[in-house]
Structure 1
Amino acid sequence: MTSAQTHVVIIGSGPGGYEAALGAAQLGAQVTLVERQGIGGAAVLTDCVPSKALIATADFMDRFTAATTIGVGFEGAAGDQGVTARLPDINGRIMALAGQQSADIGERLESSGVEVMQGAGRVAERGVVEVVQQGGEVTRLPADVILIATGARPRVLDSAVPDGERILTWQQIYDLSELPEHLIVIGSGVTGAELAHAYLGLGCQVTLVSSREQVLPGKDADAATVLEDVFKRRGMNVLGRSRAQGVCLDGDGVVVTLTDGREVPGSHALLAVGSIPNTADLGLREVGVDLADSGHVNVDRVSRTNVPGIYAAGDCTGVLPLASVAAMQGRIAIAHSLGDAVAPLSLGRVSSNIFTDPEIATVGIDQADIDEGRIDARTVVLPLTKNPRAKMQNVKDGFVKLFARRGSDTILGGVVVSPRASELIFPIALAVSARLNVDQFAATSTVYPSMSGSIAEAARQLHSVAE
């Protein structure tokens, strides 16, 4: 079977879906992309793109707040010197930006020859996708290859039912017409930490309810410590080892009840307690696709399910909930199904970022791999307070951490905690992917002064002296 004879049907147009569609079209397949909401999926319309735009707005405000520390003042009457977050304007800009990104993706799909069908898709039988369109019309699409890329939705608690006004999921916050007076964020994982940071920067009083001892459980402990210290220094109330039992409305506000009996009053509550894969009612179990108890689609490293011809990508698989990984899974699935050259997914080479201030970026192995004896490696940590560029930019928090295999000095991973860590992690990711050693890495010239200079310096400090 050649790719020109292959009909690919993709259910879901998030990063996993639209990247797969573009790849399949490039390889000459006939491609139909089925989407029941909007092009780009939740990542573009209600999750990744909007949240990062909100964070960028908060960071912009922070720069004004910190201006006096570097000698910058504001002229004019005292009442005109404040910086105020106008939430309707902020949310309007964010949703317009998301809409434009969705339109841009739609134009790319159209110009590539991908047919986009609006409706709810499901696998009717092996090799057939059924689409229920608006008005109830049902279309059956023959498919040589089926890709499930339906993403996930916010998990909610039975004892904390969102109403879209006071009790919110992260997809509902862009409908707010005024800034919360006191926002209680339940959950201190990546989403909770990012949005708690954003609203704190916009001027809200924020309480972060963390069920673990530290924010960002499972992430680099040194990085989490820095971030939690920054949160507290800026006025956030972080409740560690505190699990929410429920949330109820109380007049014009909410009350969050903790499992130890404490009650935390606020104006709004934001649930950030994980996500649920959108795999129900897709006909997957009926055709024999293996699903985890959580509902995630089980796939291998080339995105195959256990049923021939059916692949899955993105948050519905539970592999790693990142838009970049979803896109990678989608591209890999298409390359494999159409016989193109493909390398299986390698999570050890995937870089990720937490968009707080400072940002936290990671790639490769982590400190726990070394501490628990899984990998024999050496570590160096350089605080950014010693970096001249950081001093110029008034950066007071952060560090660079590198891991190198003992003996060969091959760079195995790293952590960057700094402004724009999402950009600074790239050279470390490149080193991990290319299996560079610390000497090769350190020998590459860096600009002076620059934040990247600390990364090169960390590599120099990992140089092994022959005994």
Structure 2
Amino acid sequence: MSDYEYDLFVIGAGSGGVRAARLAAQLGKRVAIAEEYRVGGTCVIRGCVPKKLLVYGSRYGAELEDAKAYGWSYEDLQFDWPTLIHNVQREVDRLNGVYTRTLENAGVERFLMRATVEGPHSVRLADRDAPITAEYILVATGSAPSFPSLPGAEHFISSNECFQLTALPESIVILGAGYIGMEFCSIFAGLGVPVTVIYRGDQILRGFDDDLRDQVAESLRDRGVDLRMDTNITSIEKDGQSYRVALTDGDILHTSAVMAATGRAPNTKGLGLEAAGVDLGDNGRVIVDAYSKTCADSIYAVGDVTDRANLTPVAIREGTAFVETVFEGAPKAMDYSFIPTAVFTEPEIGTVGLSERDARKTHEIHIYKTTFRPMRATLSGRGEKVFMKLVVDADSDRVLGLHMVGPDAAEIAQMAAIPLKLGATKADFDSTMALHPSLAEEFVTLRQRWEPPTPIKGSDAAA
């Protein structure tokens, strides 16, 4: 029997922490977990799950409008925000219970309070004087929204508060054009709220393939979203029941809500990790090796708190790999290649593998892409476009990246991740039978290679 009270103490009951705690307990280990908010973490409580439900809710208006062309008729169509947000919160409550019972059934002891690290093998709970000892400590505290420093920053709401709104804002200004900002932009626009997006860069969704960024930006503008690039907010002032938002270009906006979607920071402040000898990065992230171990041999970290690939399935896989490494004697290093990613904008993005820009840094590549009108828009007349793209290594013919904008893009990208992970070539795609009529068939019927325009040289350039 170990001299420690627990074999494993987990701080943070999000997806990664819960997975690690459950698996270790099922191996017969003495496991405890501490969570100061609710079991389930960001994804379940105030992230991907409730956000995806809001996405579904925001899409029904356009779908019902399109249904007229398919013979459906209706009267007095209305939308009620309190009904939607109540039902979303009810589902969050249900999932919180599911996660709690998962830990309970596995025999994990639960502490619903803040815990901090006091040393390589000790943790202190908020309601106790004496520390708790553990052979291993796993930090899985996730991340939290970060806010810019500017006059009036206290008036910002974050994605967290969006799930608590009792009424829809009459209008909203969103600062930031990453995936969180763009998803909430699409949600509010779909529910009829005028949306203005402010971003200091030249295009939305930095880090994604440039063609995807351009396609989504064009589609959002077509839906009435005011995308303002190359500008920033300088101040926010309360103005009666609304807000006065000043921009760097001198413009003044008046809006009923201002949201900051300017990124998230790892939750390590006041956690005590530095005193325990754990190194942190510039943004507070926990620095770990390929096996999620910190520079303290008994302390590990998984999920967003490490700021590696900040996605729920990644945190779950990291938690699993941690248990295999530490408690099963089978060291498992994480592989972060070919992670499928979705952005639930309208239209939706699904992507896996390298963008064209990143691929050109290390490969000679061929590009295959197409834009077309989806069949469902032919009767409704909606000006909707689907975009698809393959990035292919010119030497090996291996498909390095697959990118899509359009309906069900996330579902298609998930399945496409399998052949890309296995090293499928463009010839493999070409030899696969198409499923007709479907959107996904375009990925196996793409034949025409795209060539970039030839630069104009000499005297013709001046003309």
**TM-score of the aligned structures, taking structure 1 as reference length:** 0.90
Task: Report SS of the residue matched to 2:306.
Answer: coil
Conservation of the 8 A alpha-carbon contact between 1:413 and 1:428: no
8 A Cα contact 2:153 2:236, kept in partner: no
CA offsets, 1:400-435, max 9 Å, x none?
211222222122221121112111002321112111
Query: In structure 1, which of residues 427, 440, 447 is the aligned counterpart of residue 428 of structure 2?
Result: 440
Match of 1:111 in 2: 105
Seen in structure 2, the aligned counterparts of structure 1 residues 169 and 440 have a Cα distance that, compared at 3 Å, is same
Residue of 424, 428, 436 corresponding to 2:412: 424
Superposed displacement of residue 22, structure 1: 2.2
Deviation, 1:139, is 5.4
Moved more, 229-238 or 252-261: 252-261
8 Å contact from structure 1 (residues 11, 33) kept in 2? yes
Comparing 23-32 with 54-63, greater Cα deviation is found at: 23-32
- The answer to whether the aligner puts 1:11 opposite 2:11 as a matched pair is yes
Query: Match for 1:379: what amino acid?
Result: I
Matched, 1:415 2:403: yes
Q: Which amino acid aligns with 1:176?
A: L
Change (3 A) 1:55 1:138: farther
CA contact (8 A) 1:149 1:314 kept: yes
Deviation at 1:30, TM superposition (A): 1.9
- 2:70·2:379 contact (CA, 8 Å) conserved in 1? no
CA contact (8 A) 1:160 1:167 kept: no
1:146 aligns with 2:137: yes
Distance 1:20 1:61 in 2: 41
| Structure 1 residue identity aligned to 2:192 | G
Instruction: After superposition, give the CA deviation of every residue in 1:177-198 in whole Å (9 maximum; x if it has no partner).
Output: 2211111111111110000110
Deviation at 1:41, TM superposition (A): 1.6
Cα deviation per residue 1:229-279 (whole Å; 9 max; x = unaligned)? 111111111111111122221111011111233211111111111112110
**Are residues 316 and 107 of structure 1, via their aligned partners in 2, closer, same or farther at CA, if it must alter by over 3 Å?**
same
Task: Provide Cα deviations, 1:22-46, integer angstroms capped at 9, x if missing partner.
Answer: 2222333222111111001222112
Cα offset, 1:390, TM superposition = 7.2
Shift of 1:346: 2.0
User: 2:197 maps to what in 1?
Assistant: 208
Tell me the residue number matched to 1:465. Answer: none
Contact 1:39 1:106 in 2 (8 A): yes
Change (3 A) 1:278 1:441: same
CA distance, structure 2, for counterparts of residue 31 and residue 202 of structure 1: 45
Check 1:312–1:384 CA distance in 2 against 1; reply closer, same or farther (3 A cut): farther
Task: Name the counterpart of 1:85.
Answer: 79
In 2, the alpha carbon distance for the partners of 1:392 and 1:111 equals 52
Task: Give the whole-Å Cα distance in 2 for the aligned partners of 1:239 and 1:72.
Answer: 39
Alignment match, 1:456: 444
**Letter paired with 1:147:** L
The Cα RMSD (Å) is 2.4
Match of 2:286 in 1: 297
- Helix, strand or coil for the counterpart of 1:32? strand
Per-residue deviation at 1:158?
Answer: 3.2
The yes-or-no answer on 1:354 pairing with 2:343 is yes
Which residue pairs with 1:102 in the alignment?
96
Task: Give the aligned partner of residue 266 of structure 2.
Answer: 277
SS in 2 for 1:222: helix
Establish whether residue 176 from structure 1 lines up as the match of residue 170 from structure 2. Answer: no
Query: How far apart are the structure 2 equivalents of 1:339 and 1:376?
Result: 42
Match of 2:114, as an amino acid? A
Contact 1:162-1:168 within 8 A present in 2 as well: no
Shift of residue 356, structure 1, vs aligned partner:
0.7
Counterpart CA distance in 2 for 1:218 and 1:392 is 35
Q: Deviations over 1:127-148 (max 9, x none)?
A: 112212xxx3345332122111
Q: Is the 8 A contact 1:360 1:421 kept in 2?
A: yes
**Alpha-carbon distance in structure 2 between the residues aligned to 1:25 and 1:390:** 51
Identify which of 114, 120, 139 aligns with 2:114: 120
SS at match of 1:63: helix
Q: 2: CA distance between counterparts of 1:15 and 1:66?
A: 38
C-alpha displacement of 1:446? 4.2
**Unaligned ranges ≥5, structure 1:** 463-467
> Which deviates more, 392-401 or 274-283?
392-401
- Gap change, CA 1:75 and 1:92, over 3 Å in 2: closer
1:157 and 2:136 aligned: no
Counterpart code for 1:158: S
Q: Distance in 2 between matches of 1:389 and 1:157?
A: 42
Distance 2:249 2:408 in 1: 38
**Aligned partners of 2:371 and 2:388 also within 8 Å:** yes
Aligned partners of 1:59, 1:160: CA distance in 2, in Å?
35
Misfit runs of 4+, over 4 Å: 160-163, 387-395
Q: 1:75 to 1:313 in 2, by over 3 A?
A: closer
- Residue equivalent to 1:137: 128
**Aligned residue number for residue 267 of structure 1:** 256
In structure 2, C-alpha distance between the alignment counterparts of 1:146 and 1:88, rounded to whole Å: 41
Q: Secondary structure at the match of 1:224?
A: helix
Deviation track 1:98-154 (CA, whole Å, cap 9, x = no partner) reads 11111111112221222221111111111112212xxx3345332122111101111
SS in 1 for 2:441: helix
**What is the CA–CA distance in structure 1 between the aligned matches of 2:294 and 2:281, rounded to whole Å?**
12
Counterparts of 2:331 and 2:390, CA distance in 1: 29
- The equivalent of 2:73 in structure 1 is 74
- Structure 2 residue aligned with 1:193, among 173, 179, 182? 182
**1:263–1:381 CA distance, 2 compared to 1 (3 A):** same
Q: Deviations over 1:367-398 (max 9, x none)?
A: 11234x3222222112243x657757968222
CA distance in 2 between partners of 1:392 and 1:300 (Å): 54
Q: CA deviation at 1:157?
A: 2.8
Pick aligned residue for 1:317 from 306, 310, 316: 306
CA distance in 2: counterparts of 1:461 and 1:330, whole angstroms: 43
Instruction: Measure the CA separation in 2 of the matches of 1:392 and 1:349.
Output: 36
Aligned residues: 447
**Aligned counterpart, 2:46:** 46
Cα distance, 1:62–1:340 mapped onto 2, change above 3 Å:
farther
> Which amino acid is 1:210 matched to?
Y
Q: 8 Å contact 2:322–2:332 — kept in the other structure?
A: no
Tell me which residue corresponds to 2:389.
401
Partner AA of 1:74 in structure 2 = S
